[in-house]
Amino acid sequence: MLYRKLPRTDLEVSLIGLGTMTWGEQNSQEEAFEQMDYALEQGVTLFDTAEMYPVPSRAETYGRTESIIGAWLESRGNRDKIVLATKVAGPSVHAKHIREGQSRLNRNNIEVALDASLRRLRTDRIDLYQLHWPDRAVPLFGSRDYSPPGRDESVPIEETLEALEAIHDTGRVRYFGLSNETPWGAMRFLRLAEERGWPRMATIQNAYNLLNRTFDSGLSEVCHHEDLRLLAYSPLGFGTLSGKYLDGARPDGARITRWNRFSRYQGPNAEAAIADYVKIANEAGLEPAQMALAFVNGRSSVASNLIGATTMQQLRDNIASVDLQLPGEVRRRIDRVHSRYPNPCP
């Protein structure tokens, strides 16, 4: 395994991070335990979860993934070997079951969410506490363009940062991160932290994969100059970059077969781009999924590539991508497809 130090922190994260959002829905607790045991054996130390998981998010399963991780941490007694990252949900019409639809990023909600996460995770501290998505109206989860809100009712970033400062002071959280954030949002959080001495964001967890490199147009510059690091999520575009859904195929039990409403990786040009990436991999003698993961691993802004797996075979293959260096010709061919179909799945 390779490791990346997060600038201005004493945290080091494994280049492959373990995504957890299938546990408690697609995967049982027993399967999750097997994944965690194996990942840790392979040197994967960053585990990423969220109060909201598993997905799809439902009232009946809310918090279940954290509970599974908590049970594992307790049974294995290895809390100190893990960099534990979780997230507080922001407001969403799709998450009416979280704090009765009022999950604004204000002090009270953050306190309540953190306490509940700590209880479920059976620990007294979170290494990286992330804001799952902004409190503001910004393009999210597949929407492309910003449209200014008529009336801005978002919780001011100042108020959120004050709340984070308060929980940091109690020792329950070591560092903080953003997620699904924009360049303006990231800069605003960093600027205010600098001016007022509030906690400084260490990471930004955004989607990053061959079908969505929007991070590279604005955020990568922010990350470079501001010592922020990317935790790349959905590196396989929900599994689509393996090629297994091409030509209308719907493999039994796979995420998009089970929940067709996950439409983010099915937009215009997605299929054509995926077919081209799969062709590049096949012609280079690579597994398409491995090529897609190795692409993410090789990007300089990426501190950790958050993989997801529903089987042990997928987990083994995905972790092994850390050993694959893409030849220059493969990278050039990838860039040509990217120019032809830029970011079909933002």
Ligand X SMILES: NC(=O)c1ccc[n+]([C@@H]2O[C@H](COP(=O)([O-])OP(=O)(O)OC[C@H]3O[C@@H](n4cnc5c(N)ncnc54)[C@H](OP(=O)(O)O)[C@@H]3O)[C@@H](O)[C@H]2O)c1
Residue 314 CB, nearest approach to ligand X (Å): 4
Q: Which residue has the tokens 């964001």?
A: 201
The single residue among 237, 270, 304, 341 that binds ligand X, judged by CB under 6 A, is 237
- Which three-class secondary structure state does DSSP give residue 149? coil
Enumerate residues 6+ apart whose C-beta is below 8 A from 129: 85, 86, 87, 88, 114, 164, 167, 173, 175, 176, 177
Of the pair 166, 320, the CB lying nearest ligand X is at: 320
**53, 62, 265, 341: which one is catalytic?**
53
The yes or no reply on residue 134 touching ligand X (CB under 6 A) is no
Enumerate residues 6+ apart whose C-beta is below 8 A from 213: 338, 342, 343
Query: Known catalytic residue: 277?
Result: no
Of the pair 199, 235, the CB lying nearest ligand X is at: 235
Task: Work out the angle at residue 281's Cα, subtended by the Cα atoms of residues 218 and 242, and round it to the nearest 5 degrees.
Answer: 75
The yes or no reply on residue 233 touching ligand X (CB under 6 A) is yes
The single residue among 11, 13, 14, 20 that binds ligand X, judged by CB under 6 A, is 20
The yes or no reply on residue 103 touching ligand X (CB under 6 A) is no
Of the pair 199, 239, the CB lying nearest ligand X is at: 239
How far apart CA 89 and CA 98 sit, in angstroms, is 8
Q: How far is the first Cα of the chain from the last one, in angstroms, to the nearest whole number?
A: 29
Binding span for ligand X by CB under 6 A among 103-111, 121-129, 182-190, 235-243: 235-243
How far apart CA 213 and CA 306 sit, in angstroms, is 15
What mask, x for binding ligand X by CB under 6 A, covers residues 199 to 218? ------x-------------
Under the rule (CB under 6 A), what is the footprint of ligand X?
Answer: 19-22, 26, 48, 132, 179-180, 205, 233-239, 242, 244, 254-255, 289, 306-310, 314, 317-318
